[in-house]
């Protein structure tokens, strides 16, 4: 472990709850931070006012440091309307087949403005700001540093970690192949950046000097210690917190995690138009034939939004984007604060085994 990162983050444990956009709630973030780890708000889908409102909720429930995470996106998108029309027809047909009384709609815009989200993040002034999908600009980096906010970039390769270091990031979160959710890859094709954590960590530790955060497949304290031995300053766990009652994941999604196996986890583009890791379910299989033809993120993500909401309401986990990492079957349903305590007890016990 690199104690300086834990001290700089103002936390007690080398543990970060991953910022799972669409699933993290202020209650989850506050519970994790209150337990001595770093809670993270996944704000990639939130409008600016929602970011400010949820940051206030977190502060009302916790006086401890927390993070806000954003997806770095352009302000405008090139959209192939013929592809949009074809995607809508396929999605509407699928919803009709599955008995969901909802259809796709054209959104007012495809995604929130990143510039406006970034301004809200700066106003909210969390202890930590983390980013995925791309680098922020040098000017944005300077602004965060002036505000005293610790900056964490997401990397899936050594080259991406170097890019964040050169930009001035304080730490980098290494998203390995085992990790769930959207891939943060930005310098490579996603298929080229599916690197196992136990290779990615030592390779990156040799290449950069900033602290590394291990993310991907870590579900218990033993995994945290293993990541530390290979060069991680802290571990970031997402799937491990999905089953917590404070997590906003749909009940059917949580149920499906417990019965999943390692080979059920796949790289999926059909829910959002961007590579992401999750369960290969009914929706994924039904859309496999046209997955490559769907519009890129965030267009498909916006188009599937009504389906995902309807599926959650109907208890149809098999039609949801059930994002999760490779170790989903090891998830434990318990309050988030209790889970942090269990993880840290396992971590301590694992260290003692080697003393």
Query: What integer pLDDT is reported at residue 354 of this predicted model?
Result: 79
| Those residues with Cβ within 8 angstroms of residue 326's Cβ, 6 or more apart along the chain or in another chain | 177, 178, 179, 180, 216, 217, 262, 265, 277
Contact between 264 and 279 (Cβ < 8 Å) = yes
> Rounded to whole angstroms, how far apart are CA atoms 267 and 230?
26
- First-to-final CA distance of the chain: 15
CATH T-level assignment (fold) for domain 1-73+111-242+335-355: TIM Barrel (3.20.20)
pLDDT (tens digit per residue) in 325-335: 999 999 999 99
pLDDT (tens digit per residue) in 18-36: 999 999 999 999 999 999 9
Contact between 121 and 46 (Cβ < 8 Å) = no
Query: What integer pLDDT is reported at residue 355 of this predicted model?
Result: 73
Contact between 317 and 255 (Cβ < 8 Å) = yes
Query: What integer pLDDT is reported at residue 2 of this predicted model?
Result: 42
Domains of the chain, residue spans: 1-73+111-242+335-355, 79-110+247-332
Q: Which CA distances in Å does 288 have to 181, 293, 302?
A: 18, 10, 19
Is the pLDDT confidence value at 282 over 70?
yes
The chain-wide mean pLDDT, for the chain, equals 96
Cis omega before residue 304 (within 30°)? no
Is the pLDDT confidence value at 61 over 70?
yes
330: tokens are 């090891």
pLDDT (tens digit per residue) in 207-259: 999 999 999 999 999 999 999 999 999 999 999 999 999 999 999 999 999 88
pLDDT (tens digit per residue) in 76-132: 999 999 999 999 999 999 999 999 999 999 999 999 999 999 999 999 999 999 999
Band (4; pLDDT cuts 50, 70, 90): confident
Percentage of the chain modeled with pLDDT above 90: 97
> Rounded to whole angstroms, how far apart are CA atoms 232 and 212?
5
Band (280; pLDDT cuts 50, 70, 90): very high
> Rounded to whole angstroms, how far apart are CA atoms 114 and 101?
32
> Rounded to whole angstroms, how far apart are CA atoms 117 and 49?
9
């Amino acid at each position: 472990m690199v104690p300086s990162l834990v001290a700089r983050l103002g936390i007690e444990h080398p543990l970060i709850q991953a910022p799972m956009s669409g699933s993290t709630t202020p209650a989850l973030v506050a519970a994790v931070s209150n337990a001595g780890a770093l809670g993270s708000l996944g704000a990639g889908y939130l409008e600016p006012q929602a970011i400010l409102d949820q940051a206030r909720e977190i502060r009302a429930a916790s006086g401890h440091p927390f993070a806000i995470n954003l997806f770095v996106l352009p302000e405008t998108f090139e959209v192939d309307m013929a592809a949009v029309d074809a995607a809508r027809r396929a999605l509407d047909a699928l919803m009709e087949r599955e008995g969901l009384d909802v259809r796709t709609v054209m959104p007012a815009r495809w995604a929130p403005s990143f510039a406006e989200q970034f301004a809200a993040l700066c106003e909210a002034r969390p202890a930590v700001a983390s980013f995925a999908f791309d680098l922020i600009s040098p000017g944005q980096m300077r602004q965060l540093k002036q505000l005293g906010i610790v900056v964490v970039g997401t990397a899936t390769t050594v080259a991406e970690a170097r890019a964040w270091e050169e930009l001035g990031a304080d730490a980098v979160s290494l998203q390995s192949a085992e990790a769930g959710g959207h891939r943060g890859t930005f310098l490579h094709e996603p298929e080229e950046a599916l690197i196992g954590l136990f290779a990615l960590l030592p390779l990156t530790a040799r290449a950069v000097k900033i602290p590394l955060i291990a993310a991907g497949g870590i579900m218990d304290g033993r995994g945290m210690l293993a990541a530390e031995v290979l060069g991680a300053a802290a571990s970031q766990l997402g799937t491990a917190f999905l089953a917590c009652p404070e997590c906003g994941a749909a009940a059917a999604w949580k149920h499906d995690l417990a019965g999943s196996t390692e080979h059920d986890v796949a790289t999926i583009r059909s829910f959002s138009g961007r590579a992401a890791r999750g369960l290969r379910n009914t929706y994924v299989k039904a859309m496999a034939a046209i997955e490559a033809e769907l519009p890129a993120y965030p267009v498909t993500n916006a188009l599937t939004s009504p389906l995902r909401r309807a599926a959650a309401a109907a208890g149809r986990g098999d039609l949801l984007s059930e994002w999760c990492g490779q170790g989903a079957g090891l998830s434990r349903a318990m309050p988030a604060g209790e889970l942090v305590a269990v993880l840290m007890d396992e971590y301590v016990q694992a260290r003692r085994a080697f003393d």
